[in-house]
Structure 1
Amino acid sequence: MFNSYRKVLLYLKNGILSTSSTPKLCVVLQRNPSTFSPQYSTSNLDSQSFTVDYLINKCGLSQQTALSATKRVQFDNSKKPDSVIALFKSHGFSDAQISLIIRKLPCLITFDPDKIIRPKLEFFKSKGASTSDLIKMMTAEPRLLARSLESCLIPFYDSLKRFLISDECITDTIKRYAHIVCDMSRTSRNVQVLLDNGMPDLKVGLLLSQWPRTVNMQTDDFKRAVDDLKELGFNPSRSPFVVALVAKSNGKTKWERKIELFKKWGWSEEVIASAFTRRPWCMLVSEDKLRAIKDYFVTRLGWDSLVLARYPILFSVSLEKTIIPRHSVLEVLLSKGLIKDAHSVSLFTVEEKSFRKRYVDCFEEEAPRLLKLYEEKRNLSK
C-alpha cells in the first residue's frame, strides 16, 4: 500500500500527471489503491484520467459516474468519442439526451459511429421512426445500438411483423418498452408459449402492442401464469385471457394486496376468483380506486359489497365522470317516484347514448332538468 502511494507521488513530482487530473486520481486511489500498483503502467493512468475528463466535460457525467464508467471503457484520444457525439447530434439528440445514453451504456462512446451506430439509427428511420421516436427508443434502451443489426434486430423486427402488422405498430411497441428487443430470446420463448396454448396471432399482437412488459417476463413465471389462468377457466383464444394475464403478471405484491383488500370486505377466495373471471380488469385497478368505488356504493348508497363482486365492471367505471353524475339523476328519479330500483347496476354501466335514452330523455317533463343536472355534475369532474 505504501509503495502504491509513493508511486503516485513520484508521478506528480515528475510532472507525469496533469494538475487537473490530480483530484480525480486521488478519488481513484481511495476507491481502488491497487490501481497504482507497480504493474499498473503510466499509460493506464493517462488513459483513465483522459477518459474521466472527457466523460465529465464533454458528456456531462458526474465525477463519480465517470470514474465508475472507466471500469468498462477507457480511451486516450477524443477522435472516436467526438465522432459518436457528432453522429447523435446530427440525428437530433440533445446534449442531455446524449449524456443519458452514455451514462447508461458508456462503451457506446468508443463504438465506430459509421459501422455500428449509424446503421441501427438508419434502419429504424427506414421503418418510419421519426426523430422523436429514435430519441425515445435510444434513451430508454441504448443497448439497441449494441445489438447486431443483421443477426438480431432485423430478424426480431421481422418476427414482430407477424403479430403487429405495420411498421408503425412495431415502432410504438418498441417506444413503449424497448427492453423487449434487447431480451428478444425471452420474448420469443414466451410468444411461443402463447401460440402453443392456442392464442391467435391477433391476440398475441394485442398483448405485444399494449403490454409488451408482460411478454418479457421470466419464462418459468410466464408459463405458470398461463397455466393458472387456464385452470380458472380462461380461454387463451379470447380477449379476457390477455387482460387476465396482464393482471396476473402485474407483480405478486400488488396482486396479494388486492386479495387482502377484498377479504377485508368479506369476500371469500371463491368470490374473489369469480369476480376476477367475470372482469379481470378489476385486478388492474389501483387500490385507491377500489376503495373509493367500494366506499361510494357500500358506505354512501348502502349496497352490499357482494354486489360489487357480482358486477366487478363497476370498478372500471369513472367515479367522477360517470358514477356520481348518474347517481344524481337516480336520486331525482327516485324522489319523483319515476323509478323504484335504487340498485340498478345498468344505470352506471350502460353506454352514454343508452343512459340518456333510458334515464333522461324518456321522462319528457323532467328531461331538461335531469340533463342540466347531469351535465353540471360531469363538468365538475373536469
Structure 2
Amino acid sequence: MKPALQRANVSQLEFKLSLLTPLGITSSDLVKIVTCRPKFFSSRIHLVLDERINYFIDILGSKEVLRRAIIRNPSLMLYDLDDKIKPAIEFYKGLGFSQEDLVAMLMSRPTVIPRTSFNKGKLEYIQKTGVTRDSKMFKYVAAIIGVTRMETIQEKVANLEKFGLSEEEIWCLCGKCPILLTLSVEKVQRNMTFVVATMKLAARSVLKHPFLLLANLETQIRPRVDLVKRVFEMGMKPLVEDVSIATALRMSEKRFLKVYVMCHQEDVVEELMEFYEKAKSVKRLGVESKKYVRKGFPF
C-alpha cells in the first residue's frame, strides 16, 4: 500500500470513495489513480469534491466520460477549481470552443486546461497570427498559445528573428502551422542552420515549407539531402526530373526511394541503399538516449 494512502484519514477516505463510486470507478481504476497520483486520497479534495464532480459532469456530458478523464489525469480532482479550471474553461468557451472540443481536449490532453493562462499579451499574439475565429486553425492556435508561457513564446520568436525573419512573418507562419510553437529552440536552430548553411536555401523558405522545421534532421532531412546529392554526383537522374528538394523531403519513404533509388540498375540501387541506410544511422551525440513523444491536439 502507498505510504500516503496509509496516512489518509479513514472517514475522509470513505467520503471520497462514496463520491467517486457513483461514477463507476472500479477497484482497478482506483489502483491506476493511486499509481498515477500516490497522494490523491490523502489530499484535501473532500472539501469540494462533490462540487467538482458535478461541474465536470456538466462540462463533459456524462459520468462515464468523467470517469475516463479522472483515470487519465487524477489531478483534475486536485487542481484549484475556482482559480484554475473554471477561468480556463470559460475563456476557451469565450473563444468559441464547443463542448465537444473541451471534451476532446480533456480526454486527449488532460493537462491542457490547468496549464492554460490567458492575458492581454497572449490575446495580442493570437491576433498577430491573422487566424480568425471562424478558421479551423483558430482552436489550435489559441490552445497552444494558452498553455505556453509568455517568456517561452518570446524566446521562440526571437530565435527565428535571428535568421532574418520579421516578427510579422513569424506570426503568420505560426498561424499556418501553430505546432511550431511547441518545438524547442534547439531543434529550430539546428534545422534552420542546416536549411541555410547546407541546403543553401533562403531562411524564408520555411515560410512556404514549415516542414523544414518540423521534420527530424538526423533521420529524414539530412539523409535525404545527402542521397539526392549523391545521385547527381554519380551522374544519375531521378525518375521524375525538376523535383524541388522541398518536395523530395515531403515524399513518403516509398515514393522517395522510387524516385531517387529504385529507378536505377540493380548494382546502383544496392550502392545507394547502403549509402542511405548509413546516412540514417548516423545519430547526433546524445540523441540515442532521448525519446520524442509528440501528441497533436484532438480537434
The aligned counterpart of 2:248 is 347
> What residue number does 1:43 align with?
none
How far has the Cα of 1:380 moved from its partner? 3.8
Normalised by the length of structure 1, the TM-score is 0.60
Q: Which has the larger radius of gyration?
A: 1
Q: Residues 290 and 315 of structure 1 are in contact (CA less than 8 Å); yes or no, is this contact kept in structure 2?
A: yes
CA displacement 1:56-87 (0-9 Å, x = unmatched): xxxxxxxxxxxxxxxxxxxxxxxxxxxxxxxx
Taking a change above 3 Å as real, the CA distance of residues 325 and 184 of structure 1, as seen in their structure-2 partners, is same
Q: Give me the whole-angstrom Cα distance separating, in 2, the residues matched to 1:291 and 1:141.
A: 44
User: For 1:262, which of 119, 137, 160 is the aligned residue?
Assistant: 160
CA distance in 2, matches of 1:116, 1:344: 63
Per-residue deviation, residues 301-338 of structure 1 (Å, max 9, x unmatched): 22211112332222111111211221222112222341
Paired position in structure 2 for 1:305: 203
Which residue of structure 2 aligns with residue 376 of structure 1?
278
Whether 1:137 and 2:137 are equivalent positions in the alignment is: no
- Using a 3 Å threshold, how does the CA distance of structure 1 residues 327 and 288 change in structure 2: closer, same or farther? same
Give the alignment partner of residue 183 of structure 1, picking from 77, 80, 90: 80
**Contact 2:211–2:250 (CA<8 Å) still a contact in 1?**
yes
The structure that is helix-richer by fraction is 1
- Structure 1 spans left out of the alignment, 5+ residues: 1-88, 103-107
CA distance in 2, matches of 1:164, 1:266: 52
- Structure 2 Cα separation of the partners of residues 342 and 328 of structure 1: 15
Shift of 1:263: 1.4
Which string of whole-angstrom CA distances, capped at 9 and with x for unpartnered residues, describes residues 186-219 of structure 1? 4244334333443344433343234444423576
1:163 and 1:343 map into 2 onto residues whose CA distance is 51
Structure ranking higher on relative contact order (CA contacts 8 Å, 6+ apart): 2
Aligned residue runs from structure 1 range 74-113, under 5 A: 89=1, 93=2, 95=3, 98=4, 109-110=8-9, 112-113=11-12
| Contact 1:163 1:204 (C-alpha < 8 Å) held by counterparts | no
For 1:305-344, list aligned pairs within 5 A: 305-335=203-233, 336-339=235-238, 344=245
C-alpha separation in 1, matches of 2:105 and 2:63: 10
**Structure 2: where are the runs of 5+ without partners?**
289-299
2:73 alignment counterpart: 174
Give 2:18's aligned amino acid. Answer: P
2:52–2:77 CA contact under 8 A, matched in 1: no
The TM-score normalised by the length of structure 2 is 0.74
| SS of equivalent to 1:182 | coil
How has the CA–CA distance of structure 1 residues 189 and 334 changed in structure 2, closer, same or farther, with 3 Å as cutoff?
A: same
Instruction: Tell me if structure 2 keeps the 8 A contact 1:234–1:277.
Output: yes
Q: In structure 1, how many angstroms separate the alpha carbons of the residues matched to 2:194 and 2:279? A: 16
1:165–1:151 Cα change, 3 Å: closer
Deviations 1:341-368 (A, max 9, x none): 6852122223333333333334455433
Of 47, 52, 70 in structure 2, the residue corresponding to residue 152 of structure 1 is 52
Among candidates 151, 162, 176, match of residue 253 of structure 1: 151
Deviations 1:94-140 (A, max 9, x none): x3xx2xx79xxxxx745625533443675673396251333213437
Query: Match of 2:61?
Result: 162
2:102 corresponds to which letter in structure 1? V
- What letter is aligned with 1:347? A
Cα deviation for residue 226 of structure 1 reads 5.4
Counterpart amino acid of residue 184 in structure 1: L
Deviations 1:15-37 (A, max 9, x none): xxxxxxxxxxxxxxxxxxxxxxx
Distance 1:184 1:127, change over 3 A: farther
2:45–2:77 contact (8 Å) kept in structure 1: no
Q: Supply the distance in 1 between the matched residues of 2:129 and 2:219 (Cα, whole angstroms).
A: 33
Q: Paired residues, what number? A: 277
Distance 1:320 1:190, change over 3 A: same
